[in-house]
Amino acid sequence: KAGLGVPLSRTRGVVCGRMPKGTGKLKGRTGGGRMKAKSKSHWAAKAGLGKAATRAFQIAGLPPPTRTSGAPGAGSKGVKSKKQKAKGKRGANAMVPYKPGQRILLVGEGNFSFAAALAKICGGASGIDATAYDSEADAGTKYPDLEEHTATVLGTGGAVHFGVNGVRLHDCRELTPPYDSVVFNFPHCGLGVKDKVRSVAMHQQLVIDFARSAAQMIHERGEIHITVKRGEPYDTWAVPKVILTELPALRLKNSFDFDPLRYPGYTHRRTLGFEEGISAEGNDEIVKEGSKTYIFSARPPEHT
């Protein structure tokens, strides 16, 4: 993850500048304080019955059946609120935008489990450069499963780099652009700033500076991927808006839900590290509200 105010660091031969939710109401005209009753034929129609069946129930003096619970037009238990519907749709358009043979630069890897997952998906990590802001020693202290994941990446042809500043990628001489994709999942400054306005401004600047540097690391058809959580304060970051405002040479090419289940073995970790019994297990933090990936690319020359 990204941070601020850290001096130059050398690890594994890498020298890189480091910087700092309801149902609709029944409506009807009222008279004498009472709502007019709907006819049996009306409710039969709502239940999806034909005219013949409706007439049969009327003759028998029986109330027609309603739709089964959960079907459109059912009672309150079967009707989903807008919030429930939106939550149900999350992940519906999720995808894995990576293919074997691509050159991929991963930024801000915590425990390197995303890099290891890509190695499995792509049949190896050849072409993958996975980087972390932390030194190798610090990352090892924060993430107990670090060695397991880095071994997967290194053992399948990928590269692992520590001490890489995500907003100064173009200054890291160990990286070898151009790349097909430069990826930063869940960017965070790693600072516990309580002032909401200041915190939002810091993270907006973080994603802007990352995108500016990443744009120098891709080829003309390359992509910049940024994944952020839904909900607050992340929605207020307004990632697409601030990047497109500050970097008009970029365009928003695509966006889709981020589904961690599509990356076998991936486990989201906070910038501060993982502590047994305190930190959220698995991907609980990003599954609860959902997350979204934004893909940016360079605008055609005539539009810049």
What are the pLDDT digits (tens) for 143-190? 999 999 999 999 999 999 999 999 999 999 999 999 999 999 999 987
Alpha helix segments (H runs only) across the chain: 40-46, 51-60, 82-89, 113-121, 136-142, 146-155, 196-214, 234-237, 239-246, 284-287
Q: Exposed, middle or buried: residue 258 (CB in 10 Å: 0-12, 13-18, 19+)?
A: buried
Query: HEC profile for 155-220?
Result: HCCCEEECCCCCCCHHHCCCCCCCEEEEEEECCCCCCCCCCHHHHHHHHHHHHHHHHHHHCCCEEE
The predicted pLDDT at position 103 comes to 98
Interval 69-116: pLDDT, tens: 344 444 444 454 554 444 545 566 889 999 999 999 999 999 999 999
Q: What are the φ/ψ torsions at residue 19 (nearest 5 degrees)?
A: -125, 160
pLDDT over 50 at 6, yes or no: no
Q: Could you tell me whether strands 30-31 and 104-107 are parallel, antiparallel, or unpaired per DSSP bridges?
A: unpaired
pTM beyond cutoff 0.75 = no
